[in-house]
Structure formats: C-alpha cells, structure tokens
Amino acid sequence: MKKILVIVVALIVGGAIGYFVYQYFFKDGSTPFGGGANGGSDVAIGDYKEPFMWGVTMRPTGLGNYNDSIWSKQLKVASNLGAEWVRFGWSYDASDEFGFHDQIINLIEQWELKPYLVIEPSGKFENVKDPYSDGYENAKKIASHYKGKIKYYQIMNEAGSNALKGPEYSGEDETDYDATKYERTKEWIRGASEGVKEADPNAYRVITNQWLQTAFLEKLKQDNIEYEIIGWDWFSDMGFMGDKKLSDGTYLIEKLKSFEKPVILAEVNQRPDGDEGQDGQNEEEQAVFIKKMADWSVEQGLKGFIVLELLDIPNSGKGYTDYYGIVGVEKSSGGSMVPGEPRQAYSIFQEIIQKYK
C-alpha cells in the first residue's frame, strides 16, 4: 500500500512539474526569453521577462561631426541619469559603416549602457526600388555583425505614417492607408524583420507607430508580419495618452494591449513652444508631462519608457526638434558643442528611474 501511495504522489508531482515546464517554456513555441523554436517571434506579454526599459534617444552626430570625446561626454550624462538604454539610429553615410558604429557601440558599453538600434531604409524611402530586399539585406548584415550585442532592433520609425493617405487621417481605420504606400512599407518591414530573425534569432524586433495608428498593426497581423514588441510615440500636443480613445470608444491603451504583445513608449516628450518650437522648451511643463507619462506607463504594465531626447539638437534645420532635450547644450571653450545644463525634467526622470528601478 505504501509503495502504491509513493508512486501516486510521484506521478502527481511529476505531472505538475511537467505541466509547469510546458506552460512556461514551450507553450506556443516560445521561451520566457523569446528564443524558443522560432527564435524571438511571437513573444506574448506573459512570456516576456525582460526588466522595464528606461532609456533616452541620443544622436552620436547631434552636436556636430562624430567625436569619441563628445560622444563619451553625452554618455556620461545618460549614465548619471540612471538610464540603461541608448536609442539611436543607424547611419548609412559613413564610409566605413561598421567601423563607425563599432566605436559608438563600444563607448555605450564602456559606460555600462545598452544599445537599442533603429534601422530605417537606406536613402529616401520613395527611391527604394525593392523594399523587401533593402530591408532584408541591411537588417541581416547589421544584425549578423552585432549578433548577441544588440538586443532590440526597431524596424523603421513610426512605420504607419509612411502608409497613410495623408496627415489628416488618424490611422485607426484600415481605409486610412494608401494601398501602394502600405504595400511598400509592409514589404520593407517584412524584409527587415526576416533579416534580423535570420541573423540573430534571440533579438527582439520593435514596430513603432504614433497617435491612433492602430489599424496599421491590424493590417500587419493579417499579413503575418513577425515582430515581438509594439512601440508607441506620444507627445504632449496629443493630450494624455491614458485618456485617449478611438472613435468607437475603446481606450487606445486597451486596443494596444489587445494585440497581446509587450508595449513600450519609444518616444515621449513635451513639445517645445513657439512657431515650430523655436521658442524653446518650457521646463516645468516638460517635467510634469514626463513624470505623468512615466508613472502611468508603469501602472499600466508597459515594458519600457524612452525619452526623446537626452540633448537638444541645435540648428538641426528640423524646426522643433532643436529643443526636445532634457539637457541643454552649450559651446565649449574650444568652440565645439557639448552637453550643458540639465532641465527640470532631467532630475525628475532621474527620480522616476530610481523609484521604479
């Protein structure tokens, strides 16, 4: 009788362990790290075990031509902030692309920060003849070179905007998208997604949108485009994201969660004041907006928060993008542009990261 009881108990315990292992590691072909039989694809919210991402967008050439010393000064500011992730874009302009970006990434790592890379089309998208090949070849060569070093690849920036019929369309309805523009955008994303997957199956792929462009995600789902993470860009002139609803009354955040993927805020900030932002940044409003959005992001169970951006980009020629920094810039005694005084939002963001980290 005792032997039978022991056997029964062993079967129950073994079955429970087996069920846990199946649910946690193998269900739907995924692992808690997004590896699984299919690499990083199909990472559901429950399977995603990465720590919350606190980051800042930075531009290696934002203060002029690239310089190791100036870049290191910028990274020091990011490190002191307490951020862990540096979001930056790939540049096709360098004569030695990998040599140039190796320097950038090596310094990021030396400051014990982590790179989050945005890959976009090479040149103007409208001039790209074969979107799929452009996306696949560029993403594959980049992800092959940095296999195991870069964990997050953002596939295009605000991708849905490339496919809208016009800026007057919100993007919440599938009819808001131009068929030709969508096809080209979708194929570039497909190519880049497959290129990253083939080169580094354990890397995460992020698709970002903005405003109410949720129907773009619906269309990608219908076309079986693989990616792991939804990134959303949100700025103060859009209101408070937690209050925003679609035309059918659904809260935007609930719609995003319905795709059952981890959601991060990939770009967040207060819009600068004046005509195209040239009156500069209102420090108090910026600090209040970033704090409110960051607290809300954690409360909502989002997985990351990246401020656009760490430093002002003086004389960028792009209007209001000059004054998005949570840190200003100034001229050094030698005449080069260097990080300047932190704004109120810098210390507020620093406190937020310490609070939740």
Residue 97's pLDDT is what? 96
The CATH number given to 34-356 is: 3.20.20.80
Say which amino acid occupies 344.
Q
Out of 71-85, 189-203, 319-333, which region has the weakest mean confidence (pLDDT)? 319-333
Residue 204's pLDDT is what? 98
Residue 3's pLDDT is what? 43
Distances (CA, A) of 318 to 125, 203, 314, 315, 324: 18, 32, 10, 8, 12
* Residue range 113-142, pLDDT digits in tens: 999 999 999 999 999 999 999 999 999 999
- pLDDT category, 334, cuts 50, 70, 90? confident
Say which amino acid occupies 83.
A
State the Cα angle at 293 between 226 and 283, rounded to 5°: 125
Residue 23's pLDDT is what? 40
Out of 4-8, 175-179, 246-250, which region has the weakest mean confidence (pLDDT)? 4-8
* Residue range 221-271, pLDDT digits in tens: 999 999 999 999 999 999 999 999 999 999 999 999 999 999 999 999 999
SS3 at position 328: strand
SS3 at position 303: coil
* Residue range 97-116, pLDDT digits in tens: 999 999 999 999 999 999 99
- pLDDT averaged over the chain? 88
Share of the chain above pLDDT 90, in %: 77
* Residue range 58-100, pLDDT digits in tens: 999 999 889 999 999 999 999 999 999 999 999 999 889 999 9
Residue with tokens 């607290």: 295
Statement: residue 4 has pLDDT above 90: no
- pLDDT category, 24, cuts 50, 70, 90? very low
- Beta pairing partners, 273: 280
Out of 39-53, 217-231, 341-355, which region has the weakest mean confidence (pLDDT)? 39-53
Taking residues 332-344, report their average pLDDT: 92
